[in-house]
Amino acid sequence: MIRTSFIIWALMLVTWCAMRYPAMRRARRQKTRVDRRSTLDISLLVTCTVGLVVMPIVWRLGIFDGLADRRQGIVLVILGTLTGIAFLWLFRRSHKDLGKNWSVTLEVREGHQLVTGGVYAHVRHPMYASFLLWGITQALLIPNWIAGLAGLVAVMALYAVRQSREEAMMRDTFGAEYDAYCARTKRLLPGVF
């Protein structure tokens, strides 16, 4: 069961990379108007990479030598797979809805438009919501307390630091239009939070 759950996790990672690559290529061609990247921002992105990619691989290579392993049942694998499908769908939908407005860091592009359609009509941060789903997926599929939870902890730290900075940047860029958008949408979960 452990091998199966790791293979499912790895396939989701490869799918995520295949989805992200075209957006990154497109983003490199866009001119940046506002750049609010910081050392902290970059450090948190690196931490997410370690938590969501490196830790499960290190665990699978046996470097933890059984430390913090837990039992893995079929129910967790099924829940992890379903959560992973939701993660990949929301991640893809977020990228598609943002189009040329997407950036991996805190940037506003030349000709940047406020996106309020698609999944953005329901939540302001569907990309972060998708990464939280990825962290939950990993926690369900990787039967190790350290490697399984590493991604979720890293994503929560990224969101906690970055979301307010990102919203301030959007408010500076779009003013009252962004305030009106915030008034009618929640941050991560429609109608709740």
pTM of the model: 0.91
Residue 107, pLDDT score: 85
- Domains detected in the chain: 2-7+36-184 (1.20.120.1630)
Digit-by-digit pLDDT tens for the chain (193 residues) are 778 999 999 999 999 999 998 887 877 777 777 778 889 989 999 999 999 999 999 999 999 998 999 999 999 999 999 999 999 999 999 999 998 888 888 888 888 899 999 999 999 999 999 999 999 999 999 999 999 999 999 999 999 999 999 999 999 999 999 999 999 999 998 878 7
Residue 118, pLDDT score: 95
Print the SS3 string covering 53-113: HHHHHHHHCCCCCCCCECCCCHHHHHHHHHHHHHHHHHHHHHHHHHHHHCCCCCEEECCCC
